[in-house]
Every structure is written in C-alpha cells, then in structure tokens.
Chains A and B, each alone.
Chain A
Amino acid sequence: MSVWRGVACAGLAIAVVAAVGLTQKLPDRYTAVLNARFLSSRDERLTFFFGECEPAGYGYLKRVLSAYSRIESSPLKRPIIRYRDYNRRSEYLFEPTRFEADPSVLVGVGLIDADLEEREIGNASRGPDGLWRFAVDSNFDLLTRIEVEVEASSAQPLRVQLYRNERDLAPVWSSTANIATAAESGSRTVQFVATPPLREFRSGLVDPFVLRVNGGLSVDRVTAYGVVVDMQGYRIVHRKGSCFTAVEERQTNRWTPLIRQLESSND
C-alpha cells in the first residue's frame, strides 16, 4: 500500500508539473481565466469569447434578441443571422434557442459594406482536363456574373456552363455570348451576367465549382463575382460597428418598436 501511496504522490507531482508546463502553451483564448470578472459572470465569458460584434456578435445579438422577443410572441422565432464567412450559429448561445428563422428581420455580424455589394469571389484555375475550377471557402448568397478573358481572332459564340461540383452531370447555369469581330485580334473580356443572380450560391462545404468554357477560343482567365449577403428588399435600421439590423422594407411599420428600442440602447 505504501508503494502505491508513493505512486499516487508521484502522479500528483507529475500532474502539477504538467499543469505548469501546459500554462506556457495555453492559447490566448484562456488568458482571461485569471480575470475575476471573467470568472464571476457567464455573460462576461460569452462576451469575451464571442465578442460584442466580432467574431460571433454575442453582445449585439443579445440586444437585438431582447428587443425582438418583446414584439415577436413565438419563443422559437429569431431573426436571420448572417456572418461574413460561414454560419456560426450564435443563436445556440441563447436560451431558449430560437431555431425558427424569421426572414422579416436580418442581423448582420462582422459585415462591412463591401460584403453587401458585388465583389470578386475568386479566379478559377484550369485543370489538365481543360475544365476551370474555383473553390469558395465562405458563404455567398449570390453569384452575379462570370468574367472570361479570351484571345479572340474571329467572331464566334462562347458558352459557359457552371456545375456545383465535379459529380454533377447537369449544369446549374449556362450562358452564351457572341464575340463580335474585332478590328484587331487580341485579348477580350466577356461578361456572362446571371439574370437573375444564382441564389444561395455557396452555403455548404468546400467542393470546388466547375466551369466548362466552350467555343474553341484560348481562355486566359476566368473570374467569378458575387454578393456575400443579399440585402435586396431589406433596409438597414440600426448599426453598431460591423454589426447591423435590417428589416424587410414591406414590414418596416411592424418593426418600428424594435428600431426605437435598438436606438435607445445605443448608449
């Protein structure tokens, strides 16, 4: 027994040494552990980890949800919550968790103006099979257009077909453009505009999109453009840093009390 007590003490000593060693490697995430306020309040901890606005907008969402719940009678409904990169599902932080998204109110978290307008998604890269691929590692509401740079020497049609991934047999979108005869041969930029734009363009995993460009022309570059958060039909009614609240334009009257409450909480 005494031997085992010795082993137990040795184990404790090892554990203490390991704990001291580990504190050297603790990520920044835990540096606040020694802060008394952090230890005493769950709210402080949630604000510390998820931020007032970024990265997950805990503080701002708390304000909006408090005001929203005074108007919306269902305890399960919540505004749509949008982020710049991917869905962080901050609603799970709140109790009761409101799972049912109400599209009449939209809360943006960590979004800048450029995220609400058309911007470049990225350049596609050409594979050995002649297909163009572009990976989108964050969510985009809309694909608005594809820009193709070709070396054109004669007038001929150019066709673009977009596939969700390698496995899909049917394109989700295709478009054809006629390249007019140019006075001089050379590099030409052709715009393929999606009308209407492709909705819910990227909201899942990172399978690369595949583009097939037909027309017998030499393609130099393919660039995709889109919008991170589609604000069509919404009006921004409140901003705080890079967080905002928007309401559907046709329901502005319904949400007037929400707007007032958010404005009054600005202090």
Chain B
Amino acid sequence: MIELLRIAFIVSVVGWIGPFGIGYLWAAALTWRGQWKPSAGMTYWLGLISLGAAVLFGQGLRLPQGSVVSLTVAASTGGWIWRLTRKPRWTTAGLTNALPLLPLALGGVAYCVLDPVQMWDSYLIWLARVRLLEQWTPLSRFRDLGIVFPEYPYLGAAAWWWTEWAARVPVEGGRVIFVFAYLAFFLALLARQRNTRVRLLWVFFAYACFSLEIINGYQDGLLMVSTGMAALAFMEWGDRGAVWIVPLAAGLSLIKTEGAVLSLILVFCWFASKWSRWPTVHGDRLAKHVLFAGGLGFAVILAIWPWLQLQNGMDPANVQGGELRIGSIGIVVSQAARFPTILREIGRYYAERPWISLPFLIAVGVSLHQREILDRQRRFLLAFIGLHLLFVVTVFWLTQLPFEWHLGTALHRLLLQGRLAMVLFVFETATLRWAPRAHTGFVRGPTELAELVHAGPAQRQRTV
C-alpha cells in the first residue's frame, strides 16, 4: 500500500514538473512578446504538448535518447527558473478554485497506478509505442515488429513514456498526465470568468464529462482536451495570437491522424467566423505578417508526421489502415444509403448523454432565440461543432471497413473529440446570460478587453 502511494506521489510530481517547466517557457515567450500570460491550466497543456512533440521529433529524427532527455530536462529547468525568479502568484483563491477537482484528481491518479492495462487492440496501439520508446526503437522498425497501425502518430504516448521513464514507475502510472491534461482544461476554463453560477456549471461539467476512456491511455481523450484547449486559445488570444496558435493547432495531427482534420476545421472556423476582417488584412502589414507566419507554421507542423513517415520507409498515404481508400465514385454514391443509420446512431449517442446534449441544445436555443448576430467566439464554436459532426458523418459514409462494426467501435470515440467544444459553447452562452458585465470580471488580456463592444444592457458583442 505504501509502495502504491509512493508510486502515485512520484509519478504525479514528475507528471507536473516536466510539462509545467516547458509550459513556463511558453508563458515567458508570450509575456516577452507583450501577449497575455496563459493561465496555469493552459500553461500545463502547452508544456505537455511541447514535451510530447519534442520526444516524437527526437525519436523520429533518430537523435540519441540521451540528447532528447537532456534537451527536455534543460527546457523544463529553464522554464522553472524563469517561473521561480518571478513573484509567486499562488493565492488562497487559486487553491480554493482547484479544490472541487481534487476528488477527481485523486481518483484519476489512483486508477492510473492501479489498473495495469486493458488488453484490446485499440488501447495497445499506444502502449506499444510507450514500450518502443523505452527501447528507443527507430520509427523505421515499427512496421517490422508487428505493432497495430504502425503509421499512427504518437505525441501523447511520447509524453506518457517521458513520465513513466522519468519517474521510474511501472508503465501504467505514466497515464497520470492524461488526468492532469483533462483537469487543466477545466482550470483554464475557470480562469476565464468569476461568476458563481457559471462556476457551479463548471464543477458539474468537470465531473459529467469525465470517463475512464479519457485517461486509460487511449488518445481520443487527449485529442478531445487538446481540441478544447486550442479552441480556448483562439478565444483568449484572438487573431494576434494566430502566429503561434495556428501552428499549435496543427500539433493535433501529431496526437492522432484525425487531429489533422480537427486542426484544419479549427483554423478554418476561427478565420471564417470573421469574414469581414479579410478585406482589411490586405492593407495591414502586421496582420499580414502574423497570418503568413502562422500559416507557414501550420503547414510545417502538419507536414512533419508525413515527412517523418517518408523518412522512415512508411507510406503516408496509408491513412488509418486505408479505411478511406475509395476505389470508385460509384462506391461513394452507393454508400449514401448509410446516412439514416449514421444519423440515428449519432442521435442515440447524444440521447444517452443528456448532461451534454441538453445544455448544449439549450445554449443553442438561447443563442439563436434573440435573432441577433452571435459574437465571434460562439460563431467559431458553433461552426466547429457543425463541421466536426460533418466530418464524423463523412468518415462513416466513406469507410471501407465493415460499416456496422466500424460505426459501433469508432463513433463514440470520434464524437468524444468534439465534446469540450460543446462545453465551451455552453459556457460562453451561460457567461453572457448570467454575468452582467459589471460583475463578470473576465480575465482577459489588454487587447481583448479593448475589443469588447456593448450591444445591450446585459448582452455583449465581442468583435475582433
């Protein structure tokens, strides 16, 4: 029992220290660039994603394991030095904010160290990568070793490996980072407002949205959290943050293959949510540079995994085991008969989860009821949710795997990836309805605050 507590403690500390250290480098860079400093939750996620990406690149580029470890430790240490040389900002209020999540955190960590593993294919995709990273097996050998779907990216598994390796604990303990990433999203969300009623909603959703499939090592949970965080980053930093948020969104493609599509949808929806801005970009040099750099970064990050695959003798065109490889247009047309089944199953999925579908539908109803143009944040989220749903429908429409089997095994996981975007939409709506501006106390950066425009006594329209 004491051994178990020791493992839980050590792996939790390591699962905190590494990502936070690297996350503080992000905070330092953003502060230096005159942008708003990220919240603790966002800092953790930025660090976690960067850590996983660093390990993945290092291993994919065949750098020695020692070099990658040294670089990661140096980066994390640098971040912590920056953080510790600043005035500490831990407050009683901050700790009290985190208190309602404590049972979830403790339960999640206990699960991660207690439940060794689940022996079925989809889970083992990621466990295999952690084991291969333990041996620092070159990516070029993945195909020879008979692992499931060798062409899948593995940013989350890389961060998992780092945690279990650095903590020197059994492999399952490294999954605590997925618990912390989930909690980080809700902490980042909480940092956006201080209204009591909205905070009650926050506690409810933190527990209601939780399920073991988010933390059991499966990567859909991390993709869900990362999609939510990327959406949150767009909403927090706006267009001025595009130079780093857009490439960051492309990082979703390193977690799972469908992350590439999610990042494209996110970026498209953010810029499409403000079409009227485009004509002004042409004459704005700074905006042009920001968009160019962001777009270039997006393309580069998106190309990294296919490029690594090519370098290591894999076929980047073999997406998801070739499940979407269509032989002829006739197949596409003939498979249109699947639509009713797909829509029925999606309906069933949400009917079984009224705790998310009802608040979301109410939020949509409330948002559209007044027939006003929605603020940019909600336009962005609503467009993302709609296009994500379209993406899910398209996957099952075109799949060349046995339809019923694929629908039964993958639909819930694909829908999970968009869940936190729905939560964000509910929060945005609730905040606007329940928090008159005088009492809202939004924690926003100076550029964002300057962009608030009133559109009524209890309504706000935010434009960028």
- B-facing residues in A1-38 (Cβ within 8 Å): 1, 3-5, 7-8, 10-12, 14-16, 18-19, 29-30, 33, 36
Contact A12:B117 (CB < 8 A) given known A99-B132, A101-B146 = no
Report B105-129 CB contacts with A as 1/0, cut-off 8 Å. Answer: 0010000001111011100100110
Contact A39:B96 (CB < 8 A) given known A7-B196, A89-B124 = no
* Residues of chain B within 8 A of A70, CB atoms compared: none
Interface pair A93/B103, CB less than 8 Å apart: no
Interface pair B120/A88, CB less than 8 Å apart: yes
Closest chain A CB from B91 CB (angstroms): 10
Closest chain A CB from B6 CB (angstroms): 12
Q: Count contacts between A and B, CB distance < 8 Å.
A: 111
Contact A40:B119 (CB < 8 A) given known A12-B100, A14-B207, A15-B104 = no
Q: Please name the residue on chain A nearest to B204 by beta carbon.
A: A14
Interface pair A45/B100, CB less than 8 Å apart: no
The distance in angstroms between the C-alpha atoms of A88 and B128, with both chains bound, is 12
- Tell whether A100 is near chain B: CB-to-CB under 8 Å: yes
Of the listed stretches A116-124, A204-212, A255-263, chain B binds A204-212
* Residues of chain A within 8 A of B120, CB atoms compared: 88
Closest chain A CB from B101 CB (angstroms): 8
Of the listed stretches B291-299, B397-405, B430-438, chain A binds B397-405
Closest chain A CB from B121 CB (angstroms): 7
Interface pair A15/B100, CB less than 8 Å apart: yes
- Tell whether B458 is near chain A: CB-to-CB under 8 Å: no
Give the interface size bracket for A toward B: 35 or more
Report B151-176 CB contacts with A as 1/0, cut-off 8 Å. Answer: 00000000000000000001100000
Of the listed stretches A49-57, A150-158, A190-198, A220-228, chain B binds A49-57
* Residues of chain B within 8 A of A7, CB atoms compared: 100, 196, 199-200, 203
Interface pair B170/A4, CB less than 8 Å apart: no
- Among B200, B203, B400, contact of A167 (Cβ-Cβ < 8 Å): B400
| A-B residue pairs, 6 tightest by C-beta | A11-B100, A15-B103, A97-B131, A11-B203, A88-B119, A99-B145
Q: List 28 A-B contacts (CB under 8 A).
A: A7-B196, A8-B99, A8-B100, A10-B100, A11-B99, A11-B101, A11-B203, A12-B100, A14-B100, A19-B107, A33-B114, A39-B4, A40-B1, A40-B4, A42-B116, A45-B114, A49-B115, A87-B121, A89-B119, A92-B124, A97-B132, A99-B132, A99-B145, A99-B147, A100-B145, A167-B400, A205-B401, A205-B405
Residues on A lying within 8 angstroms of B by beta carbon are 1, 3-5, 7-8, 10-12, 14-16, 18-19, 29-30, 33, 36, 39-40, 42, 45-46, 49-50, 55-56, 76, 86-90, 92-93, 95-97, 99-101, 135, 167, 205-208
